[in-house]
């Protein structure tokens, strides 16, 4: 939902999935040039069981460029694994805020046996270099960027004599090239050697990351508003593949959660379904149009005066909501409701009264409750650090879901968002309706906590004030943590709290949670959508690199609002967007209340395009589910940039208008108005048209037909894909016969795998893993391991090859049995 734009503190200057390019931004003008500061001197160094410990002291006079220099620092170098190096530099007294381990669990590795990296350092003016051991490739060289370590300003970076191809760093959100919604200080660097590595900074403060390059030198520089230097270097195994780098990165931050099978179906939502009758009508219209609908969502419209855990007594009376939910469930459909973190501050509102009594809300510096302003009026904000908050949050949901056992929770506005500057409700009686929103705050010298509100260094924030449209940075949390330090953790911690709550309520069932704000590690608990986008052609395109970035961040269950959230779409755009959105990992149509209706049944052409694309998606559901199982186990992305699969093909390195679904399916959408064909790159091999099985031979740029309502999908030669005949819901689809697509490569070989379980259990007691391969005697060998027994059988074999297009529809093989199928 999120009807306004709410900025986070992280200002990172690279957006989207694109190759590194020179970006020239004017740095803020400092009192002194940070690059002229004296740096630090290494005074001692000693080996440990798995690395080095050292001491650093300020090498000269204090610079105090954007704060107060910290004189004494500690250095810890840990060879975590053969491919993961950890370098941490922190203040000896540890007064600087560090992300607590219970917020982002710090995995303890066993130590390296034969590290693939070399760590070296300079001592007089301290800097360090990380190299690949086998070829001497410099991955990070901090000696080229002067280190500054102050209480409110930390600067460091790397300069290497090579061209860095940097991917990730942040999601493309709205507006463009401004910080919004989430923080992921991670990048993947792909070099001309064909090897990649990742760099992760564990720091929750606001920061800038600057990139620049010359013909043969690249530089990356971090400028954070505080904290420590806590870096992980991830080398990605023997081949340095991007996939392995991401798998090793998720070893550090946590593996993605496993979604419910039903979560892979089609979702519908809108801010503006004002009554339960309108919601019911949408479900009925989907059915009339024969468009699959798995999950119906309800935005804040359902609430009584926009208060969490309530229903509007007239527009959404509880009895009618319960009846609607029962009807949905009888049709094998699901329901998701939104919950915002902002709690209305009326004494007659039980969640607030109980929360105030238990001391669970963020405070002002004087110890009083901090009151912002959100949809219900003046609101308090849960402090996820406070010891009573988890149990309080759980009790609210226990009471709420007892009355309405919905299937998932949508947590929004969790940056957290606030419509006014500062604690604007302070001094007002509980429950008093806000008047006009207060004007610009007075954030000048003499104001308490001036340096927290206006730090000496100004990051490239979306607003002149860090506290604009959010909780003020001088608000306090438990343990005297400040919002200045912890702001970027808020949505992440709400996701963890909500996950624990739903596990408490249904211990054996996988929670479904969608969150707007995320941080490294959030993928273990929540899915994500890219927030408030626009109904325009550029945003159709931006959705692709946005989703690809989040695959690298360990959040594979992600999508964008299909047809756009803000402004009104049109028929052609919505047609193309439904064709593309049908393949999003999280696929949902969603728009704002002040726009035209954009459900796919509104236009006949969009109806047909949606049905066609969803037919492909639902056919591929076993393949999608398998990819999520692999992501859950290993961290491997579900959607993949072409360079993930074809790293040795330089042509793929700059492609962000196509994508792979796993290793076997290539999608080439139309992203511009008025086009009836689209040019795409087909890497080396044979690619078979999903619909006609016609082959395309790589490696070439090829123009393919794409009339309105058609999205080109190709199967990679050498792949075997388990599919299932689609039905209206995923529950019904799981009862349909399985089919196997065998797409032969140039040598007549192919292989694939599949994973199956009950689709909902948190820890499935029974599961089934199946491998498929072509035998030299024109046979498919199927090997199954596990005890799960699907109701459906494998009944059809589709073999695609050069000059070969066979359908064998009398197979009748149990999925949990080993088998050899001759064709």
| pLDDT per residue as tens digits for the range 133-177 | 999 999 999 998 999 999 999 999 999 988 888 888 644 445 666
Backbone angles phi, psi at 494, to 5 degrees: -65, -40
Cα separation of 258 and 290, whole Å?
29
Taking the domains of the chain in order of start, what are their residue ranges?
Answer: 11-252
In contact, 765 and 821? CB cutoff 8 Å: no
What pLDDT is stored for residue 21 in this prediction? 28
Backbone angles phi, psi at 556, to 5 degrees: -75, -25
Q: pLDDT tens digits, residue range 549-583? A: 999 999 999 999 999 999 999 999 999 999 999 99
Cα separation of 34 and 155, whole Å?
8
What pLDDT is stored for residue 437 in this prediction? 58
In contact, 42 and 121? CB cutoff 8 Å: yes
Whether residue 33 has pLDDT greater than 80: no
In contact, 96 and 229? CB cutoff 8 Å: no
Instruction: Give percent above pLDDT 70 in the chain.
Output: 94
Token representation of residue 164 = 């860095």
Cα separation of 512 and 334, whole Å?
11
Whether residue 13 has pLDDT greater than 50: no
- Range 303-324 average pLDDT: 98
> Known catalytic residues?
412, 415, 532
Beta strands in 365-414 (DSSP E): 372-374, 377-380, 408-411
Helix, strand, coil % in the chain, rounded to nearest 5: 20, 30, 50
What pLDDT is stored for residue 744 in this prediction? 96
Confidence of residue 180 (pLDDT cuts 50, 70, 90): confident
State the burial class of residue 153 (Cβ atoms within 10 Å of its Cβ: 0-12, 13-18, 19+): buried
- Range 702-709 average pLDDT: 98
Cα separation of 215 and 223, whole Å?
24
Written out in words, the top-level CATH class of the domain with range 11-252 is mainly beta
Confidence of residue 25 (pLDDT cuts 50, 70, 90): very low
Among 338, 298, 269, 249, smallest CA distance to 516 is for: 338
Cα separation of 545 and 160, whole Å?
26
What pLDDT is stored for residue 170 in this prediction? 47
Residues in the chain: 823
What pLDDT is stored for residue 442 in this prediction? 61
């Amino acid at each position: 939902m999120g009807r306004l734009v709410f900025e986070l503190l992280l200002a990172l200057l690279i957006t989207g999935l694109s190759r590194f390019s020179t970006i020239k931004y004017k740095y803020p003008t400092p009192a002194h040039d940070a690059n002229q500061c004296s740096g630090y001197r290494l005074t001692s160094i000693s080996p440990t069981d798995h690395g080095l410990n050292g001491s650093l002291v300020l090498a000269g006079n204090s610079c105090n460029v954007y704060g107060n220099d910290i004189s004494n620092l500690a250095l810890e170098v840990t060879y975590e694994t053969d491919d993961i190096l950890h370098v941490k530099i922190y203040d000896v007294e540890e007064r600087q805020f560090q992300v607590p381990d219970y917020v982002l669990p710090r995995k303890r590795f066993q130590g390296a046996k034969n590290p693939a990296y070399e760590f070296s350092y300079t001592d007089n003016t301290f800097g360090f270099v990380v190299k690949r051991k086998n070829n001497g490739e410099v991955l990070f060289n901090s000696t080229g960027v002067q280190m500054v370590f102050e209480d409110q300003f930390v600067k460091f970076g790397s300069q290497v004599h090579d061209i860095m191809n940097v991917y990730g760093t942040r999601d493309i959100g709205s507006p463009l090239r401004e910080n919004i919604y989430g923080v992921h200080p991670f990048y993947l660097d792909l070099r001309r050697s064909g090897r990649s590595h990742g760099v992760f900074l564990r720091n929750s403060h606001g920061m800038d990351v600057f990139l620049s390059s010359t013909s043969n030198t690249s530089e990356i520089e971090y400028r954070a508003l505080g904290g420590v230097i806590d870096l992980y270097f991830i080398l990605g195994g023997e081949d340095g593949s991007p996939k392995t780098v991401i798998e090793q990165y998720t070893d550090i931050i946590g593996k993605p959660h496993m979604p419910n099978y039903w979560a892979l179906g089609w979702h519908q939502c809108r801010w503006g379904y004002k009554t339960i009758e309108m919601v019911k009508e949408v479900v009925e219209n989907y059915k009339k149009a024969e468009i699959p609908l798995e999950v119906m969502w309800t935005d804040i419209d359902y609430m009584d005066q926009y208060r969490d855990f309530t229903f509007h007594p007239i527009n959404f009376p509880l009895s009618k909501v319960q009846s609607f939910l029962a009807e949905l469930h009888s049709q094998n459909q699901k329901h998701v409701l939104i919950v915002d973190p902002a709690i209305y501050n009326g004494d007659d509102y039980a969640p607030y009264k109980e929360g105030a009594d238990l001391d669970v809300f963020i405070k002002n510096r004087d110890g009083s409750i901090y009151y912002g302003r959100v949809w219900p009026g003046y609101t308090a904000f849960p402090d996820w650090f406070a010891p009573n908050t988890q149990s309080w949050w759980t009790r609210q949901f226990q009471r709420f879901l007892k009355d309405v056992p919905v299937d998932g929770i949508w947590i929004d506005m969790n940056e957290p968002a606030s419509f006014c500057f500062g604690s604007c409700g302070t001094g007002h009686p509980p429950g008093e309706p806000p008047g006009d929103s207060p004007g610009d705050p007075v954030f000048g010298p003499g104001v308490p906590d001036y340096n927290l509100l206006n730090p000496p260094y100004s990051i490239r924030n979306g607003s002149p004030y860090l506290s604009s449209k959010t909780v003020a940075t001088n608000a306090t949390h438990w343990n005297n943590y400040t919002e200045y330090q912890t702001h970027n953790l808020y949505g992440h911690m709400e996701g963890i709290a909500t996950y624990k709550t739903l596990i408490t309520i249904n211990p054996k069932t996988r929670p479904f949670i969608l969150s707007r704000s995320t941080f490294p590690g959030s993928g273990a608990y929540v899915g994500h959508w890219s927030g408030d986008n626009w109904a325009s052609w550029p945003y159709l395109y931006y959705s692709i690199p946005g989703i690809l970035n989040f695959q690298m961040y360990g959040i594979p269950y992600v999508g964008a609002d299909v047809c756009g959230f803000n402004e009104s779409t049109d028929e052609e755009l919505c047609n193309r967007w439904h064709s593309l959105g049908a393949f999003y990992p999280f696929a949902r149509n969603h728009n704002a209340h002040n726009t035209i209706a954009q459900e796919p049944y509104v236009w006949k052409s969009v109806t047909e395009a949606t049905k066609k694309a969803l037919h492909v998606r639902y056919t591929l559901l076993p393949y999608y589910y398998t990819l999520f199982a692999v992501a859950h186990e290993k961290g491997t992305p579900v959607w993949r940039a072409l360079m993930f699969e074809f790293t040795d093909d330089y042509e793929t390195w700059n492609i962000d208008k196509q994508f792979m679904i796993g290793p076997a399916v290539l999608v080439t959408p139309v992203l511009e108005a008025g086009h009836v064909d689209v040019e795409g790159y087909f890497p080396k091999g044979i690619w078979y048209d999903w619909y006609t099985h016609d082959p395309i031979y790589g490696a070439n740029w090829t123009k393919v037909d794409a009339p309105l309502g058609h999205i080109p999908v190709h199967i990679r030669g050498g792949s075997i894909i388990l599919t299932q005949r689609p039905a209206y819901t995923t529950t019904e689809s799981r009862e349909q016969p399985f089919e196997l697509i065998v797409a032969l490569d140039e040598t007549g070989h192919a292989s694939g795998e599949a994973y199956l379980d009950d689709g909902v259990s948190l820890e499935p007691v029974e599961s089934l893993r199946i491998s498929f391969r072509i035998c030299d005697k024109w046979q498919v060998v199927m090997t199954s391991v596990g005890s799960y027994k699907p109701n459906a059988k494998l009944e059809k074999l589709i073999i695609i090859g050069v000059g070969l297009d066979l359908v064998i529809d009398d197979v009748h093989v149990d999925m949990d049995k080993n088998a050899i199928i001759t064709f």
